[in-house]
Structure 1
Amino acid sequence: MATQAAEERKAEDVLLLDLRGLTLVADYFLIASASTGRQIKAIAEHLEETLSKAGLRLLHREGWESQRWVLLDFGGLVCHIFNRAEREFYGLERLWGDAKRVVPDGETPEVKRE
């Protein structure tokens, strides 16, 4: 559901990482790219709306003003929406290279609802 929601707003290179057993920070990271700050904001707003309707509660939001990297923390799922340069610079895929990549099937894996 999260990957599909991001793609509905034209997010690029959408990736869902399974972090269970690697960290206590979150069970999953969704990582996506966008071309402009406006697109980053549109993706983030759509994720908030879609995941809230699915019963996940937004615990924290960061980067809203800069719109270079917006982070949405839903507890078990943390969504990172980057512009291309920031995504390359921070390299979360490399940092969490041991994480399993979840193949999107239209459903968000079971995430603890806070």
Structure 2
Amino acid sequence: MNDKLKAIVEGIESKKGKDAVVLDLAGKNSVAEYFVICTGSSEPNLKAIVDEVEDKMEGLKETRLRIEGYNEGKWAILDYGDIMVHVFLEETRKFYNLENLWNQSEILYRG
């Protein structure tokens, strides 16, 4: 994994994010090269994970292009251009089931 992906995973794990997965989507879509998916245990935990990932990426001088869902507290997507970080509450993650949608992708990390 590259330094950005490592920093994202470290941020997730430091805030007790669960079931982190890094999918390699290079050449499979036009949205991003990598999806990072994890689960937060509650709305405050989800927001803490997002905030920590943003801090880690700022430390690498990476600029977030956009964020979606943060205020709703059931999911959040951080767009870093080549990497999309998806943080879900458990029931929302099951509903969207991104791992199944992209099941042909190589798994670079599973926490």
Shared fold (TM-score, shorter chain, > 0.5): yes
Normalised TM-score (structure 2): 0.90
Q: Equivalences for 1:1-114 in 2 at 5 Å?
A: 1-103=7-109
Specify the code of the residue in structure 1 equivalent to 2:60: A
Residue type of the partner of 1:89?
A: F
Match for 2:32: what amino acid?
A
State the distance in 1 between where 2:55 and 2:109 align.
22
Aligned residues: 104
> Runs in 1 of length 4+ with deviation above 2 angstroms?
none
| 1:111 alignment counterpart | none
- TM-score, length basis structure 1: 0.88
Q: CA deviation at 1:93?
A: 0.2
Contact 2:22–2:35 (Cα < 8 Å) also in 1: yes
2:4 corresponds to: none
Deviation at 1:68, TM superposition (A): 0.3
Fraction of identical pairs, as percent:
32
Counterpart Cα distance in 2 of 1:53 and 1:27:
21
Q: How far apart are residue 65 of structure 1 and its match?
A: 1.2
CA distance in structure 2 between the partners assigned to 1:30 and 1:94 by the alignment: 14
Backbone CA RMSD of aligned residues? 1.0
Question: 1: CA distance between counterparts of 2:99 and 2:50?
Answer: 19
**Residue 103 of structure 1, CA deviation:** 2.8
Q: Which moved more, 1:75-84 or 1:1-10?
A: 1-10
- Unaligned ranges ≥5, structure 2: 1-6
Shift of 1:98: 0.8
Amino acid at match of 1:91: N
| SS of equivalent to 1:65 | coil
